[in-house]
Amino acid sequence: MRLATSGYWHLYLKAWDDVCKPKITRDLGIRRARNANKALLAKQGWQMHAITEKTWVKIARAKYVKDVQFLSTPIEKSAIMSWKGIGKMRDLIKKKGACFLIGSGSSVNIWDDPWIPSLNSFTSIQSSASLDHPQMVAALITCGYRQWDCGKLQALFDEHTVECIAKIHIPLTFVDDKLIWVHNSKGSFTVKSTFIIDQAPRFSSPDP
């Protein structure tokens, strides 16, 4: 009996990094608290921009954001730690899956905001003379016919970027610009998708 069961009682050790990988990679799917907290803070950052009717968002915006966008507002050194933590997630939001749907274009910065879905980073390459160029996307749209100003596009961007911008639909009527999360079919931000995208480099492993 002892010989028959001895093979079942071994302790097989596994690296913590492997334990904290998703089940799709045949691991346990345990999330590190630090990495999970990043995704949760990013959700709060998303709400700061996209869900402004929440009470806590109104209070935080009145104190720290005021009349600018959360994604571009500077984080003051005197701010409380929780606000600094949310502020640090702006790059994660902007670079890992946020993209603006252009409406009026008046709230989207040409050089800093993600708004060109056909480009890998969703962001145009900043020109060395961009400070002398238009700063908001609205300046690239003709007033009368609500279409892209081809002359301005060709003066500011390379041919590939011009082609990518030309594919973006412009509404015939003035509507607000909308920030969407490209990793969700409805454009809604999700903690799960943010966690997976942020940790993707750690999850990837060479084939056995």
Write out pLDDT tens, residues 74-98.
Answer: 888 888 898 999 999 999 999 899 9
Per-residue confidence (pLDDT) for residue 121, from 0 to 100: 84
- SS3 assignment for 64-81: HHCCCCCCCCCCCCCCCH
**Residue whose structure tokens are 């969703």:** 122
Q: What stretches of 72-118 adopt beta strand conformation (E)? A: 98-101
* Domain ranges for the chain: 14-97+185-202, 99-182
170-187: average pLDDT: 92
| Whole-prediction pTM | 0.79
Using the predicted structure, report yes or no on whether residue 208 has a pLDDT greater than 50: no
* Contact criterion met (CB below 8 Å) for 157 and 165: yes
Per-residue confidence (pLDDT) for residue 170, from 0 to 100: 95
**Residue whose structure tokens are 């909308």:** 178
Q: How high does pLDDT run on average in the chain?
A: 84
158 falls in which pLDDT band (50, 70, 90)? very high
207 falls in which pLDDT band (50, 70, 90)? very low
Using the predicted structure, report yes or no on whether residue 195 has a pLDDT greater than 60: yes
Q: Of 207, 205, 197, give the one whose Cα is nearest residue 35.
A: 197
pLDDT single digits (tens) 31-76: 777 888 999 999 999 999 888 889 998 988 888 887 778 888 888 8
